[in-house]
Amino acid sequence: MKKIAIFASGRGSNFSAIAQAVKKGSLKVKLALLVCDNPQAPVLSKARKLKIKTVLVKRGDFDSKKDFEKEITRYLKEEKIDLVIMAGFMRMLTPYFVRAYKNRIINIHPALLPAFKGAHAIKDAFDYGVKVTGVTVHFVDEEMDHGAIILQKEAEIKENDTLVSLEAKIHKVEHLLYPEAIKLLTLGKVKLQGRRVSFRGR
């Protein structure tokens, strides 16, 4: 069974969705580790309630970002992690870390990449006035919100939507799409060639 680590810095809604899928048995992985950089993050208590091992690594405790990531890598190696799941971890990873786990780090982004990159994608799409936005699950590479796309799902923006209602729609899509993408990866159904993804027996 593949072992995954989830990286999160905040509420942990995607963490909870993945943990629920594991608990139900629809996602057959070992959720071995939560990595967090924020001591105030609600996701920490969520993980502890589920008896999932948590690691709090604070950036301010290290002289450099590379030293910070080396400490995280040490924990990942201890747990023999197969796949790293970024779920609201609000830090860009360095090339050192991306290369260490090449093609084994994925991220979820609340827009249809390559549109609306960055930390405020839902608001940016709403303010721009597009009629359709959505969610992207992609491999992480050395550029922001850039790696090969695994899955995307649309979310319609209706005339009566507010930013709050759109955020709720996006989160609902995320909570369905992320476990599905992890399942495809851990079952070996995703084939990556350069920046192109294809599927085996899906």
Which residues belong to the active site? 109
Query: Sheet holding 149-156: strands in order across?
Result: 54-56, 30-36, 3-7, 83-86, 105-109, 132-139, 149-156
Q: Which of 150, 145, 154, 156 is nearest to 190 (CA)?
A: 150
Tokens for 96, please give them. 């050192």
Is residue 182 classed as helix, strand or coil in its secondary structure? helix
Q: Round to whole Å and give the CA distance between 72 and 76.
A: 6
